[in-house]
Every structure is written in structure tokens, then in C-alpha cells.
């Protein structure tokens, strides 16, 4: 499962840092972190997390969650809402492929602003993942042949 998570994290990271509109919304640089950051970390930035849950063997379908934590520091919510909009455009209702995934359907599951101290904006986006892993699909097909 580690290769699958790595391939999904790599794909999401590439999509985020490669999006010119997100880059503009974030002031010229898209900073993506792999885990929680200390409160004094320069903002804006995005923390991405991927979690997977196995389904019944031998069927090669997995479910999971892509969670994006958007962080910004500004007097109003304009920039964080622009960041949110770009992330939804990039991932909601999309179907992606990676080196380890034949097909991954991504859908927005929920999102919300999380209160923090004044001037600190924290927005969370949760996307559901439904994916077929290449290696497992190949094994099922070969076993049935």
C-alpha cells in the first residue's frame, strides 16, 4: 500500500505545484507540506494527507481519503477561498492515473473553515478516493486466466 500512497501523494503534489492559477492565488509559490507544521511556519501553504482502506480480497478496489489543509495568514479570507476554489477545480469529480493506480476517482466529500486565531485561516477539504491498483488488478486477472 505504501507505493500506492506514494504515487497518489506524488500526483497530488505535482498537480498543486503545477497549477498556475493556484500559484497566483498563493502569491507566486505553491508550498505543499507532507505533515503538520509548527504554528510559526510561513503561510500560505497546503498540507496534503492520503489514507487508504482495503476492501474485500481479491477484488483490487480500495477506498480512501485525500485531505488538504489550506493555511493562510491575512486580514481577510479572500486568498484562502481562492486556494479552496483551485483545489476543488483540480480534484473534484476527477479520474486520475498514477504509476501504481489504474484509475482513481476523486470526489469532494466535505469542506469547512476551521476557526483559528484572528488573521490565521485554516480551510480543510476532504475528497473521497476509489481506486484500482495496477499490481492487484493484474494478479486477479492472471489468477482467473
Q: What is the pLDDT of residue 48?
A: 97
Separation of alpha carbons 16 and 11, rounded Å:
9
| Mean pLDDT of all residues in 111-125 | 93
Residue 42 has pLDDT above 60, yes or no: yes
DSSP letters, 63-83, are EEEEEEEEEEESSSSHHHHHH
Separation of alpha carbons 98 and 129, rounded Å:
13
Residue 140 has pLDDT above 50, yes or no: no
Q: What is the pLDDT of residue 145?
A: 54
Q: What is the pLDDT of residue 117?
A: 86
Residue 144 has pLDDT above 80, yes or no: no
Residue 138 has pLDDT above 80, yes or no: no
Separation of alpha carbons 99 and 7, rounded Å:
6
| Mean pLDDT of all residues in 52-65 | 80
As a whole number, the mean pLDDT across the chain is 89
Query: What is the three-class DSSP state of 69?
Result: strand
Answer yes or no: are the C-beta atoms of 42 and 6 closer than 8 Å. Answer: no
Q: Which CATH class is domain 2-144?
A: alpha beta
What are the sequence ranges of the domains in the chain?
2-144
Residue 62's CB is within 10 A of a number of other CB atoms, namely 19
Q: For the chain, report the end-to-end CA distance as a whole number of angstroms.
A: 25
Residue 142 has pLDDT above 60, yes or no: no
Q: What is the pLDDT of residue 141?
A: 45
Question: For the ranges 1-10, 92-101, 130-139, which has the lowest average pLDDT?
Answer: 130-139
Separation of alpha carbons 26 and 81, rounded Å:
11
Amino acid at each position: 500500500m505504501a507505493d500506492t500512497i506514494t504515487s497518489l501523494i506524488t500526483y497530488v503534489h505535482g498537480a498543486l505545484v503545477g497549477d498556475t492559477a493556484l500559484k497566483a492565488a498563493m502569491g507566486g509559490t505553491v508550498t505543499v507540506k507532507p505533515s503538520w507544521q509548527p504554528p510559526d511556519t510561513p503561510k500560505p501553504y497546503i498540507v496534503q494527507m492520503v489514507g487508504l482502506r482495503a476492501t474485500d480480497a481479491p477484488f483490487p478496489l480500495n477506498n480512501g481519503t485525500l485531505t488538504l489543509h489550506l493555511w493562510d495568514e491575512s486580514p481577510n479570507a479572500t486568498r484562502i477561498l481562492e486556494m479552496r476554489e483551485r483545489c476543488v477545480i483540480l480534484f473534484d469529480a476527477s479520474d486520475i492515473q498514477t504509476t501504481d493506480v489504474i484509475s482513481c476517482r476523486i470526489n469532494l466529500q466535505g469542506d469547512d473553515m476551521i476557526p483559528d486565531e484572528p488573521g490565521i485561516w485554516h480551510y480543510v477539504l476532504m475528497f473521497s478516493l476509489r481506486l484500482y491498483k495496477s499490481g492487484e488488478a493484474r494478479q486477479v486477472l492472471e489468477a482467473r486466466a
